[in-house]
Structure 1
């Protein structure tokens, strides 16, 4: 350690050595590991490909939204390292494929891009719209906005439609989307293809992405908290389908009935068939 002979006292050890040691090579340190390959498989019958459109709904919002969307029977599942992450549907009331994503487990950061790429490559949709959330307490704006006054926000790879600009506000920098939706939008932007992300305000800051992929669990599928006003979700529903070139789909989503807790040993009635690939 170099010491200034003119100093009145010796500087504390951490002030001199901490930054220097971080840059030194430690032969006993762990070897940098190569990126782990991610196995993404889509199991089931996708139907006609290329798909006309793809709607991706993610997370707790997707749990609430899917209960009122009448999705019908699941046609396929998207598996990451043999764990089901996404559920694919072809509802009779739309020409688009619907992906209900990360409602049973959450993707780590290292799996988001391979997952999004596999879905887009398999379906080859002409247009993509995504339904997600943004955390109001963490959103950076010129003025602080209460959750009750927070607007819908959007992010597009091309010019927004008039329906977007009239019903929502831009998701502005320096805010970042760190969910799997970001991988879908980035891949579409790289391919110069249209994609629209509609974000519903969430009252709490979501936990960071997990480091490891946990097994799927449907135990609490219908018990997800629903802090979103149904009118707000209905507007977001209309916006994503307008972005897919299917305006007038407002009636395709209805406010789901409150879910009643089931007693031990009783089977909960589920409005969506999604267990065929588990």
Structure 2
């Protein structure tokens, strides 16, 4: 213990102990920061590879969008630690592969990058479009925008086409994308490859990423029962395929019929929550 000889008194005992306790062994403190290996496997028929393009739709928006798109039969699955996280399709109306991602479970932060890398390495797409959401209430802009008036936004590794400048606005800094879509976009940027992220406005902030990968379930969608405006989603659909060099795909998506709540989602709403609100 170091004591200042010029001090009038000896420091109080609790001050010295609080410093010394930082060096003591704490059984609850993580003993290693080395990330554990993540087992990501694509199971099914992926041929032909490389893929002409890849559309990745994520979360509750992916579930809503997929119900309005004729995706056909599932051709493969993306498994993370033996849990299905992504569903792969090859619709007849597009040259691109469609990945419906994180509809049945959400990825923890530590699994996002390995997941995105495995998908890109397996499919080797020439172009990538990502369809995701951003929270209007958390978006930082010069003027506050109501959810009903919020625009589509985009991020891209290359310059946007004319369709984007007329139908969407840039996702501007200091705003951040903190989802698996960011991992896909970052990997494509590192490889100097084309990728475009189309962001549909959402009325509230999504829950943070889970710490562990949970088994497949629809219960997590109970916290995001959003019925997006069909016209807005159709425009996002058109922009996504324009980014994949497949313009004119508007007719490939139709507004889905209202869906009844999933039993797991209904049960999730009945459970008491630990916190009433968060900022």
What TM-score results when the alignment is normalised by the length of structure 2? Answer: 0.85
Does residue 137 of structure 1 match 2:137?
A: yes
Aligned position for 1:189: 189
Q: Could you say if the C-alpha distance between residues 117 and 260 of structure 1 is closer, same or farther in structure 2, counting changes exceeding 3 Å?
A: same
Gaps of 5+ in 1: 264-278
The answer to whether the Cα contact below 8 Å between 2:206 and 2:224 also exists between their aligned partners in 1 is no
Aligned length: 259
Provide TM-score, normalisation by structure 1: 0.85
Partner residue of 1:232? 232
Q: Matched residues in 2 for 1:125 and 1:13: separation? A: 60
Equivalence map 1:51-90=2 (5 Å):
51-90=51-90
Instruction: Give the drift of 1:126.
Output: 0.1
> CA deviation digits over 1:128-168, x for unaligned, max 9?
00000001111111111111111100000111111111111
TM-superposed CA distance for 1:125, in Å, is 0.1
SS in structure 1 at match of 2:111: helix
SS of 1:92's equivalent in the other structure is coil
Kept in 2, the 8 Å contact 1:63–1:224? The answer is no
Partner of 2:37: 37
SS in 2 for 1:187: helix
Tell me what 1:242 maps to.
242
**Higher RCO, 1 vs 2 (CA within 8 Å, ≥6 residues apart):** 1
Structure 1 segments of 4+ aligned residues over 3 angstroms from their partners: 1-7, 9-14, 24-30, 218-224, 260-263
Structure 2 equivalent of residue 46 of structure 1 = 46
Q: Is the 8 A contact 1:63 1:222 kept in 2?
A: no
SS at match of 2:189: helix
Asked whether the equivalents of residues 83 and 216 of structure 1 are also in contact (C-alpha less than 8 Å), the reply is yes
Instruction: Report the aligned-residue RMSD.
Output: 2.6
